[in-house]
Structure 1
Amino acid sequence: MRIEEPLPRLPGRVVMVRGETIASYLWRLAVRNGMAFEELAQYIGAPRTIRAVDPGAEEVRLGPAARQRLAEVSGRPLPHLERALVSLGDSGIGPRARHQVKVEAWPENWMPVQACALCAAGLGERPVWRVGGGQWPVCVRHGRWTAVGRGQFQVGLERLPEVVEAHVRRVGLERRTGLYARALLADAQQVAVYWWQCRQMAWRGVWRARQEVLGVDRSALWAVPLVVYPEVVIVAEAMAVRERQRAVGRSFAGGPAGWSTGRWVQWVGERLGMGEEMAAGGHRGLEAWLMSHRNTVPVVERLARQDARAHPRSVPLALLEPHRVVPVHGPLEEASCLPWRLGARMTSMPWRPTQ
């Protein structure tokens, strides 16, 4: 499709929301300008057969020509659109493709989530949908969990302030650690899933209490990331401490006194306030993670620099094995090196503790 000249800008503009889906943005732009969704879609290059999409389940993919047309009619520079509409560059549609606009269903584990209803209250009549795949959609400003369960609702966190606090700490961990934080959070989440499904650690304590606040039982898997969130952040922070030492070749066995593998696991249990549960079986999840994050620096080299300081907390961590590649978007579990999955049957663990 060739574009002879720029399209005129539509009179009505809409506020851009970081992470919004293309389908959601097109719906809001169409409504703002008194157009049907199909009319706007055809205006930027969709075929006449296009239908109104469900932004809660489907995404609109735009090729290069359609992206340029959207920039023109919206009055937004294309780089601004690409920063806000994070799925804009994932269309797989080439510049020579006949159809520059396609509709696709989101994979089940990528389903969009609504933006905080209170934040979006002044953005128009339609709800704002954001790209899914994020594990913890928390609005700190209004204290709301914006992912929805089967009942299609957002959860107020007034009685769970520790979840909001965990979200703030998680953002700080990501800022300090860089992209590697995503891998550590994914691994910490999977450790918590192991504890959850094996009924170890907090399942009779704080996790049960949070379930009661939410009015759900263990069958509500959508609520598990919310229930375990504070503990996941604590574990991820502890993993970051260990990885900063590994980044300079230090190990807990060959490094400074008191930092053996067993002592680190014990320290994590103390930070969680679950030392007894850790000793009674919770340690296995962390030991599986440690086996995947062994120190590969030769012993001779390690001893030669045993007095080296750990990687500074203020400097982002470089990617280490087994996380040389970390997916930026998508389900968090896909960034983890641990094999088990929430809701799937647990298998035996062949790992042995590292020394």
Structure 2
Amino acid sequence: MRIDDPVMALPRRAVMVQGETVASYLWRLSALNGMSFEELARHIGAPRTIGAADPGVQEVRLGPVARRRLAEASGRPLAQLTRALVSLSSSGISARVRRQVLVEPWPDGWLPVRACKWCALGRSEPPVWRVPSERWAVCVRHRRWTATDQGCFQIGLEQLPEVVDAHVRRVRLERRTGPYARALMADAQQVAVYWWQCRQMAWRGVWLKRQEILGVDRSALWAVPLVVYPEAVVVAEAMAVRERQRAVRRGFAGGPAGWSTGRWTAWVGERLGMRAEMAAGGHRGLEAWLMAHRNTVPVVARLAQQEERAVPRSVPLPLLKPHRTIPAHGPLEEASCLPWRLGSPMTSVSSGQPGATGRGAGGP
């Protein structure tokens, strides 16, 4: 069979899952039709020497010819495949390249996340793997948290409805803000990590209660993104409000630079219901973010344009310094401009980086 010959559609079609990896889809499609992965790969143009792919750690890259043949074999329009398999068109393989099918490992830290088992129930025997955007994912429909750290696992969120509600708000924020929302969510999570490691803000309140519900203590670092998630979303929403002001070179609430830091951090504390904790030291994590996102327009010039309106919430935000490029996949912390990392001592942060002061390192 030549590479440009038409391909007969397979007898059975696999249900599409939004965000699924190409490797996972090929794995499911081949199993559904009683084929091995290698047989299906050769069916769409792979060389005879191709080996098996492990969807848990590897991705399959398809060139334009292989993508067309996959659409024919699966009985699906190519546009539908491209919408569901979000990594399908990012292979970098041109139509002139002879090898149209490649099996590659995901980069370090970019492990796929297994889809909610209830979403995949009855669709196929093999599990469904989704393209990594973080090391975890939330299924709003079935109220489940799935993650890849410390192996693959899923947690029911019936006792943590605020996590599901927060994810709904995050999706709304991403829809309104555009790609910049990923950077803001990454920064907000890092601020929450700062609070968690310095034992500030919610560590004796809602975070402790969530740890008790999960049956973990502070040593379970895999649980931290889940524990701090609702508060991180609130912070991301507040960051988006502030960045819409900065996009038109205004301070928070239209005020000059001298008002911005204290008023904004106090406002975030009010939104979190933690005004006292914010004043007692929680403001330091936010001030580190403000330093990296400071408004460089002189106060005189800013006051002269106070009548200019902020960017409407329905209009996506442009990328603002220090975020000029935002990785679409991989660990969320990689999209953050803040230097500290979960599990690393706060005192090890270089003093030359934004927010890297010794203050708050030991907690209140």
TM-score, normalisation: structure 1: 0.92
How far residue 196 of structure 1 moved from its aligned partner, in angstroms, is 1.9
Partners of 2:135 and 2:330 within 8 A in 1: no
Match of residue 270 from structure 1 = 270
1:1-355 alignment runs, 5 A limit: 3-134=3-134, 136-150=136-150, 152-252=152-252, 255=255, 259-346=259-346, 347-349=349-351, 351=354
Which moved further from structure 2: 136-145 or 194-203? 194-203
How far residue 76 of structure 1 moved from its aligned partner, in angstroms, is 1.8
Total equivalences in the alignment: 353
The one-character-per-residue Cα deviations of 1:189-246 (angstroms, maximum 9, x if unpaired) are: 1111222222222222211211111122223222211111000011011111111211
Partners of 2:111 and 2:135 within 8 A in 1: no
CA distance in 1, matches of 2:303, 2:259: 15
CA distance in 1, matches of 2:125, 2:227: 32
Secondary structure of the corresponding residue to residue 138 of structure 1: strand
Deviating above 4 A after TM superposition, structure 1's stretches of 4 or more consecutive aligned residues are 256-259, 348-353
How far residue 288 of structure 1 moved from its aligned partner, in angstroms, is 0.8
How far residue 2 of structure 1 moved from its aligned partner, in angstroms, is 6.2
- Pairwise CA RMSD: 2.3
Secondary structure of the corresponding residue to residue 330 of structure 1: coil
CA distance in 1, matches of 2:184, 2:106: 26
How far residue 259 of structure 1 moved from its aligned partner, in angstroms, is 4.9
Partners of 1:149 and 1:223 within 8 A in 2: no
Residues 268 and 206 from structure 1, CA distance in 2 versus in 1: closer, same or farther, beyond 3 angstroms?
same
Secondary structure of the corresponding residue to residue 153 of structure 2: coil
CA distance in 1, matches of 2:11, 2:177: 43
Partners of 1:148 and 1:154 within 8 A in 2: no
Percent identity over paired residues: 75
How far residue 348 of structure 1 moved from its aligned partner, in angstroms, is 4.9
Which moved further from structure 2: 83-92 or 12-21? 83-92
CA distance in 2, matches of 1:352, 1:134: 24
CA distance in 2, matches of 1:352, 1:217: 27
CA distance in 1, matches of 2:253, 2:23: 53
For 1:239, give the aligned amino acid.
M
Partners of 1:111 and 1:133 within 8 A in 2: no
For 1:91, give the aligned amino acid.
S
CA distance in 2, matches of 1:237, 1:349: 28
How far residue 286 of structure 1 moved from its aligned partner, in angstroms, is 0.6
Residues 352 and 209 from structure 1, CA distance in 2 versus in 1: closer, same or farther, beyond 3 angstroms?
closer
Gap regions ≥5 residues in structure 2: 357-364
Partners of 2:201 and 2:282 within 8 A in 1: yes
Which moved further from structure 2: 213-222 or 252-261? 252-261
Gap regions ≥5 residues in structure 1: none
Residues 266 and 74 from structure 1, CA distance in 2 versus in 1: closer, same or farther, beyond 3 angstroms?
same
For 1:115, give the aligned amino acid.
A
Partners of 1:22 and 1:88 within 8 A in 2: yes
Secondary structure of the corresponding residue to residue 83 of structure 1: helix
CA distance in 1, matches of 2:245, 2:136: 28
